[in-house]
Amino acid sequence: MSLKYDILKPEIGARVYLDRAGIGNPQVAQQLLELLETHTVLVFPGIDLSDGEQLALTDALGGRINIATRIAGLEREKTAEVYQVTLNEGAAIEKEYVLGTFFWHMDGLTVDVPPPKATVLSARHLAPKGGQTEFASTKAAYAALAEDEKAEIAGLRVLHTVTASLRELMPPGALDAARRTLRHEHPLVWTRANGTQSLVIGSTADLINGKSQAESRALLARLLDWTVQPAFTYRHNWSHGDCVVWDNTSALHRVLPYAVDSGRMMHRTTIAGLESVA
Ligand code: OGA
Ligand code: MN
């Protein structure tokens, strides 16, 4: 049995025709994991998963993790297994956190667990304007660097902080204590056990070990510009019921701005990471 799929762009993105009845099938899961490794972003058009089905898909691909429970001080009801990513009034996730998704990032880099392997996002309510999600392959971007550029960044380590990721939204002092202290250092180039290599960058990247602030921010900005060039990116224009799974270890993502009153509602689950950045 083999899933049908179309390649969206040579470096990133595939549209996969998954029948929801196949979610629990181990062979299907195996093929999805292979497609995810190769194409980084998998789109399941209009699959219209229930929360239960989304959790089953999440578990089939490696098991769920709740990143929010790693953050001390968050209330229990804010750490539901299926996150509602929305700017709607009274939403459980903090508004600042959601506004932070407007900027290129990887999920879960500042908490003390291996970065999530993948993120699963389902469209429940679309914004009339904006709200497309963009993905950039940090794997393709690293592979395409010139050898001297790879040599220049080999062995470097980057401090990732929540304060850096919210830099565009608020002064660092305005951040609550639980978040202000969230930080984690990672190698700039992640070499996986299977040999895959990618850049570990994005809005949480704050400083490079042993470099001045100016030098490290300039290098991080240059690598980000390189990574988000059109050849390495895919923009998803959501339709109702679409589900997208992306390899969080090999891609950055961001959402195009949408209004607070847009009604946009996405349901998100997270697949646990197995490997620390090394
Ligand atoms: C997130 C995220 C993107 C989107 O929830 O971590 O980046 O399109 N969401 O809402
Ligand atoms: Mn995200």
pLDDT digits 0-9 by tens, 2-53: 899 999 999 999 999 999 999 989 999 999 999 999 999 999 999 999 999 9
Q: Which two structure tokens, joined as six digits, stand for 183?
A: 């930080």
Asked whether residue 14 is assigned to any structural domain, the reply reads: yes
Give the residue numbers spanning the domain of 163.
4-271
Q: Which two structure tokens, joined as six digits, stand for 56?
A: 């089953």
Starting from the CA of residue 238, give the closest ligand: 1
> Given strand 243-247, what is the order of strands in its sheet?
4-7, 14-17, 41-44, 243-247, 118-125, 265-271, 83-86
Contact 257, 130 (CB under 8 A): yes
At 40, which CATH number?
3.60.130.10
Asked whether residue 46 is assigned to any structural domain, the reply reads: yes
Asked whether residue 168 is assigned to any structural domain, the reply reads: yes
Q: Total domain count for the chain?
A: 1
Asked whether residue 81 is assigned to any structural domain, the reply reads: yes
What is the C-alpha to C-alpha distance for residues 253 and 187, in angstroms, rounded to an integer?
19
Q: How far is the CA of 83 from the centre of ligand 2 (A)?
A: 11
> Treating both helix axes as pointing N-terminal to C-terminal, what angle do 51-60 and 26-39 enclose, rounded to 10 degrees?
80
Q: How far is the CA of 251 from the centre of ligand 1 (A)?
A: 13
Asked whether residue 277 is assigned to any structural domain, the reply reads: no
Asked whether residue 31 is assigned to any structural domain, the reply reads: yes
The 10s digit of each residue's pLDDT in 191-228 is 999 999 999 999 999 999 999 999 999 999 999 999 99
What is the C-alpha to C-alpha distance for residues 98 and 86, in angstroms, rounded to an integer?
7
Note the pLDDT of residue 74: 52
Strands (E) located in the chain: 4-7, 14-17, 41-44, 83-86, 118-125, 133-137, 157-161, 183-187, 189-191, 197-199, 205-208, 233-236, 243-247, 251-255, 265-271
Residue identifier of the C-alpha nearest atom 4 of ligand 1:
255
Distance of CA 86 to the CA centre of its chain: 16
pTM: 0.94
Asked whether residue 163 is assigned to any structural domain, the reply reads: yes
Asked whether residue 278 is assigned to any structural domain, the reply reads: no
Residues 188-220: b if buried by 16+ CB within 10 A, e if exposed: bbbebeeebebbbbbbbbbbbeeeeeeebbebb
The 10s digit of each residue's pLDDT in 92-109 is 777 888 999 999 999 999
